[in-house]
A and B are shown apart, each in its own frame.
Chain A
Amino acid sequence: MAFLEWLQRSDLSIWVGESPSLWAYPTILTLHTVGLALVVGTNTVINLRLLGAGRRIPLEPLKTLYIPMLVGFGINALTGVALFVAAAEFTGTKPIFYFKLGFVFLGLGTAVAIRRAVFGNQEALNRPIALGTKILAVTSLILWVAAITAGRYTAYIN
Chain B
Amino acid sequence: MEFFIAWIRATSLSMALQDQAPWLWPICETFHFIGLTLVIGVAGFFDLRLLGAMKRISFNAAKELMPWAMVGFSISLTTGMIFLISQPQEYAVKGAWWAKVSFLVIAGLNVLVFEKLLSPKLLTLGPEDDTPLSLKIVGLVSLACWFAVLYFGRMIPYLQPSLISNL
- Which residues in A have some Cβ–Cβ distance to B below 8 Å? 22, 25-26, 29-30, 33-34, 36-38, 40-45, 48-49, 53-58, 60-62, 64-65, 68, 144-145, 148-149, 152-153, 155-156
Contacts and interface: CB of A to CB of B under 8 A. Distances in A.
A45 B34 CA distance: 13
Contacts of A48: 42, 65, 68
Interface of B: 26, 29-30, 33-34, 36-38, 40-42, 44-45, 48, 53-58, 60-62, 64-65, 68, 127, 147, 150-151, 154-155, 157-159
Given A58-B57, A61-B54, A41 B38 contact: yes
Contacts of A38: 40
A144 B33 CA distance: 11
Contacts, number: 104
B38 A44 contact: yes
Contacts of A153: 26, 30
A7 B152 CA distance: 30
Given A22-B159, A64-B54, A156-B26, A42 B41 contact: yes
B36 A37 contact: yes
Contacts of A49: 65
Contacts of A41: 37-38, 40-42, 44-45
A41 B54 CA distance: 16
A80 to B, nearest CB: 15
B36 A149 contact: no
22 contacts: A22-B155, A26-B157, A29-B154, A30-B150, A30-B154, A30-B155, A37-B40, A37-B147, A41-B42, A44-B37, A44-B68, A45-B42, A48-B65, A53-B65, A54-B62, A57-B65, A58-B57, A58-B127, A61-B57, A62-B54, A148-B34, A148-B37
A87 to B, nearest CB: 16
Contact of B65 (A26, A54, A148, A156): A54
A40 B60 contact: no
Contact of A152 (B30, B62, B150): B30
B29 A152 contact: yes
A43 B34 CA distance: 12
